[in-house]
Amino acid sequence: MIRMERKMFFFTKLCTVLIFTNCVSGDYPKAQNVSWLSINFKTLLLWDPEPTNYSYTVEYSIIGQNRKKNQHCIRTMETECDLSNSLVDLKAIYSADVLSKPLLGVNSDLIEFPHTTSERFSPYNDTLIGRPEFKIEVSKDKRKITLHVEDPPIALFNEQNQRRTIRDVFADELQYKVTFGKATSTGKKTKISASSEIELEEGDIDPGVSYCFNVQAYIPSRSTDNQLGELSQRQCSPGDDKSVFEEYGIGVIATFILLIIMIIVVAIGVTVVCCKRRRNANRSGKEGVPLRSV
């Protein structure tokens, strides 16, 4: 009898532990939509939902190596983790796990916490290159236009604590793609340059003509869908053939057109009113003339 009671006691305890374990696991839902967002090597790991009675811990590693933790992403209530300075080897391939854990200071009997694994990510191959800035220089004889492109800075620093640029990372692999055309035309040309100073001469441009330019980073060693960076803002060079829009501006031209439309509308209105009055006057005159006697 005592032996049977002991068995029942241990069986009840085991069931309680199992039930408690399931309840705890249910309280810590897995992270969803785990993804990487990286621009100019500023690399964030993102996920959801926002936690309520639990927290998140991020672990990352180079594929095949031991996992590490970022000190800012341990038992956090945030849904993002900045791993920019943690992914030291830019050419390596990484993966990350987002673990759902109890709040800081809260104990749990769980041995393995619910977790979600990210897709693989390589900073060198996957970070998006942001839009570059550039200046336009036109030669005195107006036969050459030079674009001075500023290599976009990145979120990493060198040993002297100076901010690095994408040129420091990609070196000779970095090129620039220029898309350009006459300011008065919709036609477009493209040119690839390995230098940050891009020269356009006769054959590319017509002397004295205004051209508009867009520039973007181009890294041919990457996969086709990830070779081009973000498109720069459009800039135009001065020229001798300024169009009406360049000369006066869209605002002035729009005001002038609106004024003409208003004058036409007023003229039509005045004409209609005058015609009606004349018609009414003629009708009144006829009605006021006495009938002739027979």
Final residue before a domain boundary, out of 126, 159, 179: 126
Could you tell me if 73 and 81 are in contact, meaning their C-beta atoms sit under 8 angstroms apart? yes
| Alpha carbon distance 90, 93 (integer Å) | 8
Number of domains in the chain: 2
96 and 146 together in one domain: no
Which residue type sits at 77?
A: M
Q: What is the pLDDT of residues 216-264, one digit of tens each?
A: 999 999 999 999 999 999 999 997 655 555 555 677 788 888 889 989 9
CA separation for the pair 268, 274 (Å, rounded): 10
- Kindly state whether residues 41 and 116 are assigned to the same domain: yes
| Residues with Cβ within 8 Å of residue 230, at least 6 apart in sequence | 128, 129, 130, 131, 216, 217
Give yes or no: residues 117 and 153 share one domain.
no
Q: Is residue 284 domain-resident?
A: no
Report the run of H or E that residue 4 belongs to, with start and end: helix 2-27
- Tokens read off for 127: 């970070």
Domain annotation covers residue 283: no
Residue 182 belongs to what domain range? 133-242
> pLDDT (tens digit, 9 = 90+) per residue, 33-72?
999 999 999 999 999 999 999 999 999 999 999 999 999 9
Residue-wise pLDDT for 83-109, tens only, equals: 999 999 999 999 999 999 999 888 877
> What is the tens place of the pLDDT at every residue in 129-167?
999 999 999 999 999 999 999 999 998 887 777 889 999
Contact between 114 and 121 (Cβ < 8 Å): no
Q: Domain containing 19 — which CATH number? A: 2.60.40.10
**Separation CA 172–CA 209 (nearest Å):** 32
Sheet hosting strand 175-182, strand order edge to edge = 189-193, 175-182, 211-218, 235-236
Residue with tokens 């190596």: 65
- Asked if residues 157 and 164 have their Cβ atoms less than 8 Å apart, the reply is yes
